[in-house]
Amino acid sequence: MATPSFSIILSLLLIIGVGISQSEARAFFVFGDSLVDSGNNNYLATTARADSPPYGIDYPTRRATGRFSNGYNIPDIISQQIGSSESPLPYLSPSLTGQRLLVGANFASAGIGILNDTGVQFINIIRMPQQLDYFRQYQRKVSGLIGEASTQRLVNQALVLMTLGGNDFVINYFLVPNSARSRQFSIPDYVPFLIREYRKILMTVYNLGGRRVIVTGTGPLGCVPAELAQRSRNGECSPELQQAAALFNPQLMQMLQGLNRELGSNVFIAANTQQMHTNFITNPQAYGFITSKVACCGQGPYNGLGLCTPLSNLCPNRDLYAFWDPFHPSEKANKIIVQQIMSGTTEFMNPMNLSTILAMDSEA
């Protein structure tokens, strides 16, 4: 009985090993919101920033970097897993020049959504049309360095991460009673509208050269500390927001499968982040957390009100908390999510996980 399990382990090691060696030169592009923003908003006049303590308290520099995390965020951890020399820099960073451009770029901006009217209260944020324009601008810059043909090859072979949708519900629909979008749409009608708009964004990414695009769904929106603080009496998740996520994520998966059929290739990979989060939210102890309801940094019920600031309550051990602040997972939770992105079954990654993608592409 020992031989088959040894061969399985060996083949897994080979898959991961082959992937990493192949991907050392693989660029990585990131689009989306605060879950994946690595500091673009630091360069903008906006309140949607994570540029002061205690953000970054567990980052190697112990300084706030603009990541909405106590330490590394999801793009950082994916970069480590695929063997990149560094995590892609924010596109607005003055350091993103020369050879560092070949690592890729992070275009994400906290507060944005699928829709352009999501996050209007944050004024200066990089909405999706602008993120995509920056991607075009990036390709022109790199063409000046290595030529058009090599740039097209770099983009075609790159890994792309897309994280959108949560803010379209949390900020745009539910934040204010009788919001414009809630007057315009019921949730069962709003979700297909979002999916249609998201499809246009994804097709633009494809037309700009993206060929391996991981698309994350929303987490369990009604279970984050911010929503528990505002909507929960006994720690139960908000049913309205949970319904929204339960409708959105399966329709997103269907849309991605439809796009892949249309394109005749597995361009878009669905990451079931709702299930990834749900596992450690419903059973935090199994993942080494003491709570999935209370944020490490914040104030009020569940530390879920307002922002994480130097005046907030701050837990001494961030690894014991699933949530770092009222909305964002802790670094440890981000590592659990990336572990599923790398090696999760089709329940989590459809049609395949990132280790499989890396192995397949190394043979191409």
Rounded CA-CA distance 306/99 in Å is 40
For the full predicted model, state whether its pTM sits above 0.85: yes
Bridging pattern class, strands 213-216 and 268-271:
parallel
In the set 37, 109, 328, 355, the catalytic residue is 328
Q: How far separated are the first and last CA of the chain, in Å rounded?
A: 34
Rounded CA-CA distance 13/19 in Å is 10
| 328 given a catalytic annotation | yes
| 34 given a catalytic annotation | yes
Rounded CA-CA distance 151/140 in Å is 9
Residues pairing with 161 in the sheet? 30, 214
pLDDT for the residue numbered 362: 86
Residues pairing with 162 in the sheet? 31, 215
What are the tens digits of pLDDT across the range 4-18?
A: 443 343 334 433 333
What are the tens digits of pLDDT across the range 278-325?
A: 999 999 999 999 999 999 999 999 999 999 999 999 999 999 999 999
Give the angle 357-363-364 at the CA atoms, nearest 5°: 85
pLDDT for the residue numbered 1: 40
Query: What phi and psi values does residue 317 have, to the nearest 5 degrees?
Result: -125, 100
Q: How far is CA 315 from CA 53, 108, 307, in A?
A: 13, 28, 15
- Identify the residue with better confidence: 10 or 244: 244
Q: Establish if 97 belongs to a structural domain.
A: yes
Q: Establish if 2 belongs to a structural domain.
A: no
What are the tens digits of pLDDT across the range 29-86?
A: 999 999 999 999 999 999 999 999 999 999 999 999 999 999 999 999 999 999 999 9
What are the tens digits of pLDDT across the range 102-117?
A: 999 999 999 999 999 9
Are the C-beta atoms of residues 186 and 137 closer than 8 Å to each other?
Answer: no
In the set 23, 33, 34, 168, the catalytic residue is 34
Strands (E), the chain: 28-32, 104-106, 159-163, 213-216, 268-271, 297-298, 313-314, 349-350
Q: Establish if 12 belongs to a structural domain.
A: no
Residue indicated by tokens 């280790």:
355
DSSP of 106-138 = E---TT--SSTTTTGGG-S---HHHHHHHHHHH
What is the DSSP code (8-state) at residue 212?
A: S
pLDDT for the residue numbered 210: 98
Q: Establish if 13 belongs to a structural domain.
A: no
Q: State yes or no: pLDDT of 363 exceeds 90.
A: no
Q: Establish if 15 belongs to a structural domain.
A: no
pLDDT for the residue numbered 11: 39
Query: What phi and psi values does residue 71 have, to the nearest 5 degrees?
Result: -150, -120
Q: What is the CA radius of gyration of the chain?
A: 20
What CATH number corresponds to the domain at position 348?
3.40.50.1110
Q: Which residues contact 142 (CB under 8 A, 6 or more apart)?
A: 101, 102, 151, 154
- Mean local confidence (pLDDT), 203-215: 98
Residues pairing with 297 in the sheet? 314
Q: Establish if 323 belongs to a structural domain.
A: yes
pLDDT for the residue numbered 13: 40
Are the C-beta atoms of residues 85 and 79 closer than 8 Å to each other?
Answer: no
Give the pair of three-digit tokens for residue 41. 């908003």
Q: Establish if 220 belongs to a structural domain.
A: yes
Overall number of domains in the chain: 1
pLDDT for the residue numbered 17: 39
What are the tens digits of pLDDT across the range 344-361?
A: 999 999 999 999 999 999
* Portion of the chain with pLDDT greater than 70, in percent: 93
User: Across all residues in the chain, what is the average pLDDT?
Assistant: 93
Query: What phi and psi values does residue 81 have, to the nearest 5 degrees?
Result: -70, -35
54: preceding bond cis by omega (within 30 degrees): yes
Containing structural domain, residue 121: 28-363
pLDDT for the residue numbered 216: 98
In the set 33, 37, 76, 325, the catalytic residue is 325
What are the tens digits of pLDDT across the range 217-242?
A: 999 999 999 999 999 989 999 999 99
Rounded CA-CA distance 201/10 in Å is 39
What's the residue count for the chain?
Answer: 364
pLDDT band at 162 (very low <50, low <70, confident <90, very high): very high
